[in-house]
Structure 1
């Protein structure tokens, strides 16, 4: 099984739960979307602006055209 890594960062349109940010990050780095989502939820238990970062990425990262 080969893993393909995208060269650009885009929000996923086909594997999205909320905004496609976690799935887009997973596609970009060759990870599984579920892993990125779990890491995000766990990081929300720690102090910091994780939710604001997610919202900013949702606004900044363009949607995938495919």
Structure 2
């Protein structure tokens, strides 16, 4: 079976990008969210733009 990166309906907070990445990688979505917050602190504004682009690109499950 082929793994596909999708945004799930359950477990999502905003757009479901972190939850989808967590499911795809097989890790807890909370870990992905913590990494995202740490990246957001270091790179001002860029992760927000990347998140919005991923929200548009990654299909919903």
Match of 1:44, SS state, is helix
Equivalent of 2:30 in 27, 30, 34 = 34
Distance 2:33 2:20 in 1: 11
Match of 2:5, SS state, is coil
Distance 2:43 2:20 in 1: 24
After TM superposition, the runs of 4+ consecutive aligned structure 1 residues lying more than 4 A away are none
- Residue 61 (structure 1) aligned with residue 58 (structure 2): yes
Taking structure 1 as the reference length, the TM-score comes to 0.84
Instruction: Count the aligned residue pairs.
Output: 59
Alignment gaps of 5+ in structure 2 = none
Taking structure 2 as the reference length, the TM-score comes to 0.90
Shift of 1:47: 1.9
Alignment gaps of 5+ in structure 1 = 1-5
What is the CA RMSD across the aligned residues, in angstroms?
Answer: 1.2
Structure with greater helix share of residues: 2
